[in-house]
Structure 1
Amino acid sequence: MRDDRCELLCIDFDHAERLRATLPQFDEVTRRAERLRALGDPTRLRIAQALHVGDELCVCDLAWIVGSSQGLVSHHLRQLRSAGLVTSRRNGKLVMYRLNAEARRLLIAVAAPATEADPA
């Protein structure tokens, strides 16, 4: 006997079908997974957290804040932008970055401190 499978087929079809109908389409789940994966890197998560608190920052400021080189921060910002989490705008010779609204919601969800009720 395996502990991770039922020993017999026991589908509660009506309940299971109602739940299945509420799930987002596969392409939407794929898009969400890509965005979550973008926040899965510690440096990118720190950059996102800095943008969340700082609202709009340039690469120089972000590099100083997260303690990484400007090149590395630029690389991670490109990945965050590709994932649809960060927008940028040119301000003279500076490029300013900010989180979009969806990124803010995701960051709040994934960066919330664990509580005692959370399983370890």
Structure 2
Amino acid sequence: MSDDRCELLCIDFDHAEGLRAALPEPGELAARAEGLRALGDPTRLRIAHALHAGDELCVCDLAWIVGASQGLVSHHLRSLRSAGLVDSRRDGKLVMYRLTRAARALLATISAPAAEVDPA
């Protein structure tokens, strides 16, 4: 028998049902997964960290900070915006980008030192 399965059915119904009821809705989990996928690219994660530190930046500044072309940074910003992680606003001829609240929460979670993450 495989070591990753119980050998008999032994559900602690009250405990299991309480946990099941507390899970986020499938749509919310899908949105979170999309955000995590968007941050799964090293360049996008680097851009997100730069925005977190800089609060609001234009593409020119972001390109300089992350060491990539403006075209590449713009491409990644579109992906981050599609995932709901980045907002933008026009300021004259500049377009300023900032992280959404959801992106800040995801970054805080994935940036926590391993010792702070509960292994259970």
* Shorter-chain TM-score above 0.5: yes
Uncovered stretches (5+) of structure 2, i.e. residues with no partner? none
Cα deviation digits, residues 5-57 of structure 1 (max 9, x gap): 11111111111111101001111111111111111111100000000000110
Rate the CA distance shift 1:82–1:117 in 2: closer, same or farther, 3 A: closer
Question: In structure 1, what residue type is equivalent to 2:84?
Answer: G
Q: TM-score of the superposition, structure 2-length normalised?
A: 0.92
Q: CA deviation at 1:102?
A: 1.8
Gaps in structure 1 of 5+ consecutive residues = none
Deviates more, 1:106-115 or 1:62-71: 106-115
Deviation track 1:46-84 (CA, whole Å, cap 9, x = no partner) reads 000000000110111101100111111001000100111
CA distance in 1, matches of 2:58, 2:9: 56
Does 1:13 find its partner at 2:13?
Answer: yes
The amino acid across from 1:64 in the alignment is W
Residue matched to 1:113: 113
Structure 2 letter corresponding to 1:60 = C
1:68 is aligned to 68
Alignment of 1:33-48 (within 5 A): 33-48=33-48
> What is the identity, as a one-letter code, of the residue corresponding to 2:53?
V
1:118 shift after superposition: 7.0
Distance 1:114 1:59, change over 3 A: same
Shift of 1:115: 2.9
Q: What is the CA RMSD across the aligned residues, in angstroms? A: 1.6
Q: Percent same amino acid among aligned pairs?
A: 78
Q: Cα distance 1:115–1:71, how it changes in 2: closer, same or farther (>3 A)? A: same
1:74-108: CA deviation from partner (whole Å, max 9, x where unpaired): 01000100111100011111111000122111111
* Consecutive aligned runs of 4 or more in structure 1 exceeding 6 Å deviation: 116-119
User: 1: CA distance between counterparts of 2:70 and 2:117?
Assistant: 39
What secondary structure, in the 3-state scheme, does the structure 1 residue paired with 2:115 have? coil
- TM-score (ref. length: structure 1): 0.92
